[in-house]
Structure 1
Amino acid sequence: MSWAATVLTLYPEMFPGPLGQSLAGRALRERTWSLDTVQIRDFATDRHRSVDDTPAGGGAGMVMRADVLACAVDHVLERRPEAPMLVMTPRGKPLSQRLVRDLAAGPGVSILCGRFEGIDERLFEARPIIPVSIGDYILSGGETAAIVLLDACVRLLPGVMGAPTSGEEESFETGLLEYPHYTRPPMWEGRTIPEVLRSGDHAKIAAWRKAMAEADTRSRRPDLMERHGDAPRPSPSGARHEDEGT
């Protein structure tokens, strides 16, 4: 059975979007994973298909209704009870590579995409929904965040990347940022590839890469460096892959 994703959204036409291209798109066509969308408005009960209302206590904007969303969520949970139900929200748990690996190792995910000012909090009290955030900033809706999460998961599925070791040295896999990369030509605008990378000495190359990863992490993401501790040293991998992580 392939890894399956279900997205609950007001804008199903946004999918697969970028997920229909590159590695994820090829894997989708090869049925390594599947993607379904559920239109939230289909669960509205009034003739206007309303999914939102004014916020209790006053304030700007509109809030997505718990009763309508609960019907949509229940519909998906009944069809796919084994898949965790996530909601993309800046109030959620930060998305990490560890969480991505856990989700990719499972049967798939169901993702609720919010819009407007947010979602009635009672929905989260009444249903098993896991809030997840992709960063400390605000998007127009959860769809873009869902695409980010799905791309991160799909690339880890067996056979999606060219070699099993393709992702082992990338940023966050070992708790550090990834080391710098270089390729031909050896000289470009007066800048040369570091000599160690042209030495053919794999032990020295591995040591240089580890040192650079630690140095870049220390200067750019000291918070990661503090948590790094005694993370295992990555093994050298010459595997090439199409997509670059962020």
Structure 2
Amino acid sequence: MADLRIQILASGSKGNALLVWTDNTCIMVDAGLSGKAITEKMKFSPVDPGDVDAILVSHEHIDHVRGIGVLSRRYNMPVYLSEGTLTSLPKSVGEIKNYRIFRRGRKFTVGDISVQPFSLSHDAEEPVGFVLSGDGKKIALCTDLGMVTELVKVHLRYCNLIVVEANHEVDLLMNGPYPWELKQRIRSRLGHLSNEESIALCREVYHCDLHAVCFAHLSEINNSPERVRSHINGLREDGRWKEVRLFIADQYEPTGVITI
């Protein structure tokens, strides 16, 4: 069987981008740094910018779309996004001539990778997560959501690798420097998942063919890798999780290539 590979180039409020690829197809999911910054980060990847067959966009917030216009124009990459996301893009993204509209809940393919977009609860126009499938293997990408719905659980339940948001530790957020209105937004149904909520979701969707989980979109103010690791240690106390590879994505350093 062919391998499905993933590498997270950057993850956090300052910009998000990741790559998923097979031997024949490469997809970038979000491009929330400048085109130059993403190109620089890809020097630490076995994938070159010219190898990317498409960019998928989860939603229109600038930390997910900052570089999509530049990259699409420079490398003629088609950009796949929903109608609501397209109409809500910041003007700074610039013109995108090569775009394809998808609908939430409807599968489509890019090369030999099947893409299933599914709805998330976030303060954007049509936010989505993605399940990417190839040769019987499945990767779920699920960040920027304020609550875990049954739909989210359904899509994550039988994936072999999950990238899931672990945005904040509740006590750090509530006792931290953010204005009260922002704290309320983050904790709302349209905000972001806490560490506790992320771990609870992982426990609920565990199955024997889950090979890896990557915790992503950590807040630099309201979270830390050490806090997430403490939750991971608790997860590992359940013997079922000892064989699951657990990673933490970083804002500044790309992960290694994770293969399933």
TM-score by length of 1: 0.29
TM-score by length of 2: 0.28
